[in-house]
Amino acid sequence: MEFDWTEEDLSYRSELQDFLAEELPGRWEGATAVLGSADNAEYSRRFAGLLAEKGWLTPHWPAEWGGTGATPWMLAVLGEELWSRGEPRGPQYMNVNWIGPSIMAHGTPEQCQRYLPPIAAGDVIWCQGFSEPEAGTDLASLRTRAVLDGDDYVVNGSKIWTSYGDIADHCYLLVRTDAQAERHRGISVLLMAMDSPGLVVRPIPGMVGEHSFTELFLTDVRVPVANRLGPENEGWSVVREALSFERVGAPRWARAAHVLDETVRGAMEQGQSIDPVAVEAVGVAKTACEAARMLCYRVIDERARDLPPSPHANVARVAMVQAERLVADACAALQGNEIMRYGSDSDLQMRKSLAAGVAAGTYEVQLNLVSRRHLRLPKN
């Protein structure tokens, strides 16, 4: 057991920091927007191209698809540095961390040729068509139906809470291809073009900053069978595997820690006296970020050893949600009435912290998984 960074990781971090200091001076325009906003997504198209040129957009991919053999630790460093600057990759992190790897693992040679190079170049945006009005946390109850007709599936149904639905080029879409099967069977993954006839995208105004989600309405949308990812009716295992890549791919603690740091420094620069209650709150919030950091590192260590996904990932997720919330409380304690000013750190962080325990799997589901898989508490 030891907790040192290797020389290689340290020099990678420092090279990355120099690059980011150049390319993302101070508060770049997207940082004040929230992850998921149209501003942030547009910015990401430019920025991802720059990263791709340096080989830093998909460094962990196989060389065949543009990777540079980065270790899980280097990937963690990359994630930390980018998330602590407001995640300028915007929606690209989904492509890079799990949509691309999922296509690599299950795609046909044609699908890989068609979809992977644009992701590696950073000039494409994907959205995920998972949740439905009646299938949120209970994702396996999804109903959007795809029926085979010649060389196409004909898709009918709707998806909701789809981030980037209004700007994405493609959708990683979950559909039901066998209505009779047990609910975890009978699901397939389709790679759908977002300009498909019959697809209507409606924005849903959100209160988490500028973030807007969308709703997708699919009426007789034709998706070629050639665009199915993996075997028919086995989409559930494809997507479960894909999401195990995603879960700790987003080091939200690093962004939360950065917001806290900016807020404290802002208060100090203004010569604001920080009362003991606020000092206590920022100390507790900083601690929560640090704890989440170590719990994420434990997962990365497992990944670096090629161990299968473990419940330690769920432990880390819970800690990250707690950190986001405590940072929101600390910013509010520090900034007082500034929370009324739209776009203040405390205003934005309070909004973001609401999404932390909902997006990509609820806090409660993570607690279920920690209690069953980590503590091995009994089922009913």
Partner 1 sequence: MDFTLDSHQEAVLEAVGTLLSRHAGPARLHDLGGDEPGYDHDLDKRLAEAGFLDIAEPRSPSRLDAALVLETLSGALASSAAGWRLLVLPTLDIDVEGPVAVVAESHSGPARFAADADALVVIGDDRVRLVRPDRPIPRVRSRLGWPVGDVNELPEGGLIDEAPVAETLSWTRVAVATEMVGAMQFALDITVRHVSDRRQFDRAIGSFQAVQHGLAECSVAVEGARWLALEAAFTGSASTAAAALTQASEASKLIFRRTHQYHGAMGFTREYDLHLATLRLLALRSEAESFGRPAAACAHEHWGI
Backbone dihedral angles phi then psi of residue 161, each to the nearest 5 degrees: 60, 35
Q: Rounded to the nearest whole angstrom, what is the least distance from the CB of residue 7 to partner 1 in the complex? A: 13
Rounded CA separation 286/326 (Å): 8
Q: Rounded to the nearest whole angstrom, what is the least distance from the CB of residue 328 to partner 1 in the complex? A: 16
- Nearer residue to partner 1 within complex by CB, 74 or 135: 74
Contact between 263 and 345 (Cβ < 8 Å): yes
Angle between helices 276-304 and 252-269 (to 10 degrees): 150
Q: Rounded to the nearest whole angstrom, what is the least distance from the CB of residue 318 to partner 1 in the complex? A: 5
Which residue ranges make up the site for partner 1 (CB under 8 A)?
1-5, 73, 261, 264-265, 268, 274, 276, 279-284, 286-288, 290-292, 294-295, 297-298, 300-302, 304, 315, 318-319, 322, 364, 367-368, 370-372, 374-380
Contact between 215 and 196 (Cβ < 8 Å): no
DSSP H helices, 194-311, are: 235-246, 252-269, 276-304
Rg of the chain's alpha carbons, rounded to an integer? 21
Rounded CA separation 15/18 (Å): 5
Q: Rounded to the nearest whole angstrom, what is the least distance from the CB of residue 41 to partner 1 in the complex? A: 32
Q: Rounded to the nearest whole angstrom, what is the least distance from the CB of residue 12 to partner 1 in the complex? A: 14
Q: Rounded to the nearest whole angstrom, what is the least distance from the CB of residue 370 to partner 1 in the complex? A: 4
Q: Rounded to the nearest whole angstrom, what is the least distance from the CB of residue 210 to partner 1 in the complex? A: 29
- Nearer residue to partner 1 within complex by CB, 166 or 301: 301
- Nearer residue to partner 1 within complex by CB, 50 or 279: 279
Backbone dihedral angles phi then psi of residue 277, each to the nearest 5 degrees: -65, -40
Give 145: exposed, middle or buried? Use CB within 10 Å, 0-12, 13-18, 19+: middle
Contact between 78 and 59 (Cβ < 8 Å): yes
Q: Rounded to the nearest whole angstrom, what is the least distance from the CB of residue 18 to partner 1 in the complex? A: 23
- Nearer residue to partner 1 within complex by CB, 156 or 362: 362
Rounded CA separation 145/134 (Å): 14
Q: Rounded to the nearest whole angstrom, what is the least distance from the CB of residue 109 to partner 1 in the complex? A: 37
- Count of C-beta atoms within a 10 Å radius of residue 160: 20
Contact between 238 and 185 (Cβ < 8 Å): no
Identity of residue 364: E
Contact between 158 and 135 (Cβ < 8 Å): no
- Nearer residue to partner 1 within complex by CB, 234 or 302: 302
- Nearer residue to partner 1 within complex by CB, 216 or 256: 256
Rounded CA separation 87/81 (Å): 8
- Nearer residue to partner 1 within complex by CB, 26 or 379: 379
Partner residues linked to 214 by β-bridges: 162, 203
- Nearer residue to partner 1 within complex by CB, 174 or 299: 299
- Nearer residue to partner 1 within complex by CB, 219 or 287: 287
